[in-house]
Amino acid sequence: MNLKSFLAFAAMALGSTSCFAEGAVADEYKAMTFMVFGGIIALTMYITWWASKRVHSANEFYAAGRSISGMQNGWAIAGDYLSAASFLGIAGLISLYGYDGFMYSVGFLVAYITVLLVIAEPCRNIGKYTLGDILAFRNNPKASKTIAAVSTITVSIFYLTAQMVGGGVLVKTLIGIDYEVSVMIVGVLMLAYVVFGGMVATTWVQIVKAILLVIASLILVALVWAPYGFSLPGFLDGVIHNEGVQGQVRKLIGTAAANMSAEDLGQRFLEPGLFLKSPIDQISLGMALVLGTAGLPHILMRFFTVPNAQEARKSVVWAMAIIGGFYVLTLFLGLGAAIKVGPANIVALDKGGNMAAPILAQYLGGGADSVLGNFFLAFVAAVAFATIVAVVAGLVLASASAMAHDIYVGVIRGDHATPDEQVKAARISSVIVGVVAIIIGIAAKGQNVAHLVGMAFAVAASGNLPAVLLTLYWKRCNTGGVVLGMLVGSFSAIALVMASPNMTYPKAVIADAKVVLEGAPAKEAVPAKASAGFVCELFALCQNAVPAKPAAEAKAPLPMKLAKLQASMATLADPAALAKAKKDAGKMEKEIKKAQEDMKKMEGQTASLTGLEKPFFRLKNPGLLSIPLGFLMVILGSLLYRDKRAEDMWDELYVRQNTGIQAEGSSGH
């Protein structure tokens, strides 16, 4: 299929999406929303068409001919990295939990210090296209390429599934297109970029998307901050005196709020501890964020697109400026959404807060009934959509390169493939990965995928980073260590997440639903429990530290409350009070419906996906254990295994990674 007929097909797919139901955008503004989406999609398609004429060799397909400048690559890295999770997710977390949400932003930026100092330049100097190339330099090529490919595909699929589901939900929530159709559109677009335009198209789509994202955020922040004269204390004063914010804090801290003044409640929003409650978990998360980025295959791959190590360095510095600047903006986006839209309304649209930024845009433009408000919403939503498609394209390219370049060309063909064969293998692999991504995206409908991005970072930090770092900097490192470290590091990270509180535990869901439907009896105060040791903080083997629980009053069943409210509505004369009662009743009905659905879904189940009734591993983030384990296993494996090649190659690797002698050059046009 050539690009033209493909475009026609894509347009048809878009046109046929008349199957939308409800969404945040009112029907009369849907046409405008589609036009904004269509405009951005058309722009990326033009880029793909332009790029498709420039991709002829494997070098061009995987590495854009190494012709991307440092500054361009910096923007592309930002485009690759500012995923839906960080743009929508962090703004949402800040809007719901204040300070704790902002802590994620810091970790995502600091991660680039590791990339800049010890990863980017050496990898550019000794690598070609993939993580496997870096590891195969001194280790056994077939073994290290195989394991690197498996790891690349695993990490990318985790990351990708979260993006696909996020994209499907975003489009469905905003404009009401069916989830399956949304996932297909994301998948088809991303396939077009990758298959026809390779790294050239992917890079430029990411650059364009990053620029749009920064522009959209700057406009929103300017609008939300201007009323406070661009004063930081002034803006935060607005936050702490906001009733919605105070109400959210009251909800989060429960009975502790009883003795606090309204202003203290507001101030609490700017203090830590509303979201991340376990200190050890916070440190564990920090480790995965800071060390995981440097092991993400789709980020590593970006350094092969620049002509040399100096440009790789420049690209990280640019990326840090853009990504850091953007994350500072998320503070204002999140807090702005909290005061303008209100945490309660944000949660009503999406439990995780993912709609905070788009809904803030709608508000700032004039609200749900205004043309400008809906234009803003459409623009931000379209940027978020472009974000998802661009990030998925980068992930698919990374997986396809692992499949085609490492496995097919490297392992199966023993590095003897003609240039034409290589490009063909790359395109076929992209289609395979893309189709798999669409299938997984549709299969994962309604699943809890929030932990998948965390899992991708944890596997990258525990499996990939120790292997890459020690291959580059430790003379004794060899194939045995790389294979053992990557296997144990990755599997321990995955296993710990599978046994963690991130999974869905039917018993807990049923218990929560029962409280809603049947009410709960009064509870007596429970005193704090002391921890029986550090291990108990990690594993459910013994008593962990539990804070004291205050006494709680009995809760009436929600259906009863609803009936009472509905009965009282008949006597309400004041129209404002009636409207409020109606709104409350609507919320209650939704909550009851959800509890009933939960009961039905979990009926008869007692164990999670991994057969556990309750979490065995107590942390949400496995990094604290799996990262040191990954390093330890690389060291142990290297010491136990003799590999003459790895030792003989050390001088060459070390000289080349430091000087760039014989580094892969640009294709020269």
Sites of contact with another protein (CB under 8 A): 99-100, 102-103, 106-107, 109-110, 112-114, 116-118, 232-234, 236-237, 239-240, 267, 270-273, 276, 279-280, 282-283, 285-286, 290, 310, 313-314, 316-317, 320-321, 324, 327-328, 651-652, 654-656, 658-662, 665
How far, CA to CA in Å, does 75 sit from each of 92, 203, 322, 371?
24, 9, 7, 32
Whose Cβ is closer to another protein: residue 94's or residue 453's? 94
CA dihedral 92, 95, 97, 99 (to 10 degrees): 110
Nearer to another protein, 539 or 654 (CB): 654
> Residue 324 or 559: which CB sits closer to another protein?
324
**Contact present, 467 and 482 (Cβ < 8 Å):** yes
Is the Cβ of residue 317 or residue 431 nearer to another protein in the bound state? 317
Which residue number, 122 or 198, has a Cβ lying nearer to another protein?
A: 122
Separation of alpha carbons 179 and 456, rounded Å: 24
The candidate with the shortest Cα–Cα distance to 216, out of 106, 322, 326, is 326
Element of type H or E holding 32: helix 30-52
- Amino acid (1-letter code) at residue 156: S
Residues 118, 459, 149: CA angle, nearest 5 degrees: 85
DSSP conformational letter for 541: T
Residue with tokens 């309604």: 446
Q: Residue 146: which of 414, 502, 516 has the closest Cα?
A: 414
Shortest separation between residue 210's beta carbon and another protein, angstroms: 18
Integer angstrom CA distances of residue 408 from 404, 424, 479:
5, 11, 20
Is 197 within 8 Å of 55 (Cβ atoms)? yes
Query: CA angle 244-367-385, nearest 5°?
Result: 95
E strands, 80-150, are none
Residue with Cβ nearer another protein (235 or 385): 235
Least distance in Å: CB of 618 to another protein?
A: 15
Task: Count CB atoms within 10 A of the CB of residue 651.
Answer: 10
In terms of CB distance, is 270 or 509 closer to another protein?
270
Cα separation, 285 vs 262, in Å, equals 32
CA–CA separation, 503 and 492 (whole Å): 16
Smallest separation (angstroms) from another protein to the CB of 71:
13
Smallest gap from Cβ 112 to another protein, in A, equals 7
- Non-local CB neighbours of 628 within 8 Å, separated by 6+ positions: none
Nearer to another protein, 321 or 435 (CB): 321
Q: Is the sign of the CA dihedral 387, 48, 188, 431 positive or negative? A: negative
Shortest CB 271 distance to another protein, Å: 5
Q: From residue 220, how far is each of 45, 253, 360, 536, 581 by CA, in Å?
A: 27, 30, 8, 45, 33
User: Which residues sit opposite 333 in a β-bridge?
Assistant: none
Of 425 and 619, CB closest to another protein: 619
CB of 141 to another protein, least distance (A): 17
Helices 309-340 and 232-240, packing angle to 10 deg: 40
Nearer to another protein, 189 or 333 (CB): 333
Tokens of 380: 């931000």
**Closer to another protein by Cβ: residue 8 or 117:** 117
For residue 440, the minimal CB distance to another protein (Å) is 33
Residues 349 and 356: their CA atoms lie apart, in Å, by 9
Question: What distance in Å separates the CA atoms of residue 57 and residue 387, rounded to the nearest whole number?
Answer: 27
Q: Which amino acid is at 482?
A: V
Shortest CB 199 distance to another protein, Å: 22
SS3 156: helix
CB of residue 621 to another protein, shortest distance in Å: 11
Nearer to another protein, 125 or 130 (CB): 125
Distance, CA of 274 to chain centre: 21
Q: Which is nearer to another protein, 310 or 568 (CB)?
A: 310
Residues in the chain: 669
Q: What number of other Cβ atoms are within 10 A of residue 621's Cβ? A: 30
- List % helix, strand, coil for the chain (3-state, nearest 5): 75, 0, 25
Please say whether the dihedral angle defined by the alpha carbons of residues 156, 161, 162 and 165, taken in this order, is positive or negative.
positive
Q: Kindly state the smallest distance separating residue 658's Cβ from another protein, in Å.
A: 6
What's the closest the beta carbon of residue 107 comes to another protein, in angstroms? 7
Q: Which residue, 220 or 240, has its beta carbon nearer to another protein?
A: 240
The least CB distance from residue 328 to another protein, in Å, is 6
Backbone angles phi, psi at 236, to 5 degrees: -65, -30
Q: How far is the CB of 415 from another protein (least distance, A)?
A: 15
Comparison of 23 and 325: residue with beta carbon closer to another protein: 325
Under DSSP, is residue 80 helix (H, G, I), strand (E, B) or coil?
helix
Residue 419 burial (CB count, 10 A) = 11
Question: Smallest gap, in angstroms, from Cβ of residue 111 to another protein?
Answer: 9
Distance in Å, CB of 225 to another protein, minimum: 14
Closest contact distance (angstroms) between CB of 431 and another protein is 34
Toward another protein, which CB reaches closer, 371 or 661?
Answer: 661
For residue 273, the minimal CB distance to another protein (Å) is: 6
Which of 267/374 has CB closer to another protein? 267
According to DSSP, the residues that pair with 523 across neighbouring strands are: 552
